[in-house]
A and B are shown apart, each in its own frame.
Chain A
């Protein structure tokens, strides 16, 4: 896909999003309520209309080839970029899914193991140190010092003995 195609595609997508937002906002009053000013849906509705117009302007400019992106025939994302960005974004998705299932500390461990060993190709020493130190640091900072409990899902009971130590 070239940058030129991507420019048009994204502009169309964003225009559709704007229309969606307009429809959603129109569930509430979007007109001027006499004596009260704009209704509760008016602000998002008219702003989404503005978004739609901005997208249309981008599309018009695309046809007239005014913007640098609309004349750029380079690849939008090279294979290598897709790979690099895909691994990063994918590994964060993995981190979040595992957080839901097994709790954040297990997720952090697996995420770091994957990223350091298989993406970064660090030595086992660096990998193991980081996979242990980072979750412990996060635990100490958030749970202990700042008292912000992070999601633990089904691994919660594993932490009961640690709480015993922490608060006794």
Chain B
């Protein structure tokens, strides 16, 4: 323990050097802006700025990239809240409550909550990272395909209750998301699947962002057009010191869900192949399940913003663990960070901690500082982002359409995806008018590939024996928790009904 503290102090000192500190501030700001653009996420920022970092020493470079990564994680929430478009898969859950809050004139409150929750999530996970990196790394190794599948079952279980009241329509939404996730190449058999009309664009599958930007960007704009007739978009907000103070007092309302989300996020993030998206979704689902007032979720509950934001930041720190200790990226962004480390001649793997301590601890130290820096920068930008909402709708609308089109193009750089996005937007809008919930489809397309792959890998390994999920301890525990989660709301409902019956009976 003492050794860790000593290392950490060394690391912090390293990160506080003028060059590194500049890197942190510049990186956070850039990351924040890139993350705030729909369609652009930390992957773009990190990938494109990678060559620039050839000019500075490796420690400064990795700090710079990590700062961009952090900044982009914070920034993702900004477009989710102000524009209602999730900029990255990690920020999907933030839209559910962030958007209604912004429409009700509480954009500043939601943005503050997102920033504070991100900070708490980031900080808790860095502390966990500092203290428990090696044991968690060996735990992550125990996660094989059956455990991954059990984790996915757990993730799906947390979504129970996210759908609308219409059960067949909710089921339809989940299923179509899962089917869309299976478009492209089936890696188990190496065969192309569901390539409609032999169009090349389907070979890379349906990118999650295409569906999310289509439904939340274009679909949401069409919806707003219909409901407001293009008149007003949101209530005007004026930022005052008084209001900000009030926003900070708000913290106690969501601190519980935030800490829960942070711990969960960190843990899920450390597992290779899971990453920040399932973490943020699970955190949202849990916050809703255990809330005193679950019905207010999705209509503008501040905890619904805080929980996923805390989890996605915690998970992004967590996903650096498998990268550093095992050389396995937990997310596409860390995959590129990993590439960067290899280019600088650093070999991520079990020996990196002992062979390059100044690098690892410099990175950890910079995570502490980057977190704090991003919080400050983010809070400073809030008035600006809130201003965006006061623009007239007929200016904002075309700009949002353009951002959707360009953001739909950027990840895969094919026009095919942009057309698909438009199609999803219009269809999503029509279905939404008929009370089909759209969120489950978006969640399903993110988790679908992971779930199918791990299921089939497990069954290949067990020769088609399904009991493998129950005989392995970790996966059995996950599945037991999942079953409990599915039963919990039902039990609650039953209990409520019984109590109500008892009430009327006695009265």
A and B touch in the complex (CB under 8 A): yes
On A, residues with C-beta under 8 Å from B are: 3, 6-7, 10, 14, 21, 24-25, 28, 32-41, 43-44, 47-48, 50-51, 54-55, 57-58, 61, 67-69, 76-77, 80-81, 84-85, 88-89, 91-93, 95-96, 99-100, 104, 108, 111-112, 115-116, 119-122, 126, 130, 134, 138, 141-142, 145-151
Q: Which residues of B contact A38 (CB under 8 A)?
A: 455-456, 459
Report yes or no: A44 in contact with B193, Cβ–Cβ below 8 A.
yes
Query: Would you call B111 an interface residue if the criterion is a C-beta within 8 Å of the partner chain's C-beta atoms?
Result: no
Of B169, B434, B464, most buried by chain A (CB within 10 Å of CB) is B434
Report yes or no: B193 in contact with A25, Cβ–Cβ below 8 A.
yes
Report yes or no: A96 in contact with B394, Cβ–Cβ below 8 A.
no
Report yes or no: B452 in contact with A43, Cβ–Cβ below 8 A.
yes
Report yes or no: B225 in contact with A85, Cβ–Cβ below 8 A.
yes
Query: Would you call B398 an interface residue if the criterion is a C-beta within 8 Å of the partner chain's C-beta atoms?
Result: yes
- How many A-B Cβ pairs are below 8 Å? 171
Report yes or no: A47 in contact with B398, Cβ–Cβ below 8 A.
no
Kindly identify which residue among A35, A96, A141 contacts B405, using a CB–CB cutoff of 8 Å: A96
Q: Which residues of A contact B395 (CB under 8 A)?
A: 116, 120, 122, 126, 130
Report yes or no: B179 in contact with A48, Cβ–Cβ below 8 A.
yes
Report the Cα distance A100→B188, complex, angstroms: 36
Report the Cα distance A35→B464, complex, angstroms: 5
Q: Which residues of A contact B45 (CB under 8 A)?
A: 146
Report yes or no: A14 in contact with B464, Cβ–Cβ below 8 A.
no
Q: Which residues of A contact B186 (CB under 8 A)?
A: 28, 40
Report yes or no: A10 in contact with B431, Cβ–Cβ below 8 A.
yes
Q: Which 4 A-B pairs have the closest CB atoms?
A: A37-B459, A120-B394, A57-B168, A54-B172
Report yes or no: A55 in contact with B172, Cβ–Cβ below 8 A.
yes
Given A28-B191, A47-B179: A76 in contact with B433 (beta carbons within 8 A) = yes
Q: Which residues of A contact B410 (CB under 8 A)?
A: 142, 146, 148
Q: Which residues of B contact A112 (CB under 8 A)?
A: 398, 402
CB distance from B412 to the nearest CB of A (A): 11
Given A51-B172, A147-B48: A88 in contact with B402 (beta carbons within 8 A) = no
Given A43-B452, A115-B398: A81 in contact with B413 (beta carbons within 8 A) = no
Given A35-B464, A37-B455, A96-B415: A120 in contact with B422 (beta carbons within 8 A) = no
CB distance from B502 to the nearest CB of A (A): 28
Report yes or no: B430 in contact with A95, Cβ–Cβ below 8 A.
no
Report yes or no: A92 in contact with B171, Cβ–Cβ below 8 A.
no
How many of chain B's residues have a CB under 8 angstroms from any CB in A?
Answer: 64
Given A130-B395, A142-B410: A37 in contact with B182 (beta carbons within 8 A) = no
> B410: nearest residue on chain A (CB-CB)?
A148
Given A40-B193, A44-B193, A138-B406: A146 in contact with B435 (beta carbons within 8 A) = no
Q: Which residues of B contact A34 (CB under 8 A)?
A: 464
Report yes or no: B460 in contact with A36, Cβ–Cβ below 8 A.
yes
Beyond A85-B226, A122-B394, 12 additional pairs, beta carbon < 8 A: A28-B191, A28-B193, A37-B456, A37-B464, A38-B455, A38-B456, A40-B189, A51-B179, A58-B172, A85-B429, A89-B222, A112-B402
Report the Cα distance A69→B433, complex, angstroms: 9
Report the Cα distance A57→B168, complex, angstroms: 6
CB distance from A21 to the nearest CB of B (A): 6
Report yes or no: B182 in contact with A111, Cβ–Cβ below 8 A.
no
Report yes or no: A84 in contact with B229, Cβ–Cβ below 8 A.
yes
Q: Which residues of A contact B176 (CB under 8 A)?
A: 51
User: Can you spell out 22 A-B residue pairs with CB atoms less than 8 angstroms apart?
Assistant: A3-B433, A21-B194, A28-B189, A35-B464, A36-B460, A37-B460, A39-B189, A40-B189, A47-B179, A48-B175, A50-B171, A54-B169, A55-B168, A58-B169, A67-B435, A81-B226, A85-B226, A88-B397, A100-B415, A115-B398, A145-B48, A151-B415
Report the Cα distance A126→B409, complex, angstroms: 27
On B, residues with C-beta under 8 Å from A are: 34, 37, 40, 44-45, 48, 166-169, 171-172, 175-176, 178-179, 182, 186, 188-189, 191, 193-194, 196, 218, 221-222, 225-226, 229-230, 392, 394-395, 397-399, 401-402, 405-406, 409-410, 413, 415, 418-419, 422, 425-426, 429-431, 433-435, 452, 455-456, 458-460, 463-464
Kindly identify which residue among B196, B225, B397 contacts A115, using a CB–CB cutoff of 8 Å: B397
> B429: nearest residue on chain A (CB-CB)?
A85
Kindly identify which residue among B179, B226, B425 contacts A44, using a CB–CB cutoff of 8 Å: B179
Given A44-B179, A111-B398, A120-B394: A80 in contact with B229 (beta carbons within 8 A) = yes
> B37: nearest residue on chain A (CB-CB)?
A141
Report the Cα distance A55→B44, complex, angstroms: 39
Q: Which residues of B contact A67 (CB under 8 A)?
A: 166, 435
Q: Which residues of B contact A148 (CB under 8 A)?
A: 44, 48, 410, 413
Report the Cα distance A80→B230, complex, angstroms: 11
Q: Which residues of B contact A69 (CB under 8 A)?
A: 434-435
Report the Cα distance A123→B189, complex, angstroms: 59
Report the Cα distance A151→B45, complex, angstroms: 20
Report the Cα distance A126→B394, complex, angstroms: 11
Q: Which residues of B contact A36 (CB under 8 A)?
A: 459-460, 463-464
Q: Which residues of B contact A151 (CB under 8 A)?
A: 409, 415
CB distance from B152 to the nearest CB of A (A): 13
Q: Which residues of B contact A100 (CB under 8 A)?
A: 415
Report the Cα distance A24→B221, complex, angstroms: 33
Report the Cα distance A5→B425, complex, angstroms: 22
Q: Which residues of A contact B459 (CB under 8 A)?
A: 36-38
CB distance from A87 to the nearest CB of B (A): 9
> B171: nearest residue on chain A (CB-CB)?
A54
> B40: nearest residue on chain A (CB-CB)?
A146
> A121: nearest residue on chain B (CB-CB)?
B394
Report the Cα distance A91→B186, complex, angstroms: 36
Report yes or no: A10 in contact with B175, Cβ–Cβ below 8 A.
no
Report yes or no: B194 in contact with A146, Cβ–Cβ below 8 A.
no
Report the Cα distance A34→B462, complex, angstroms: 11
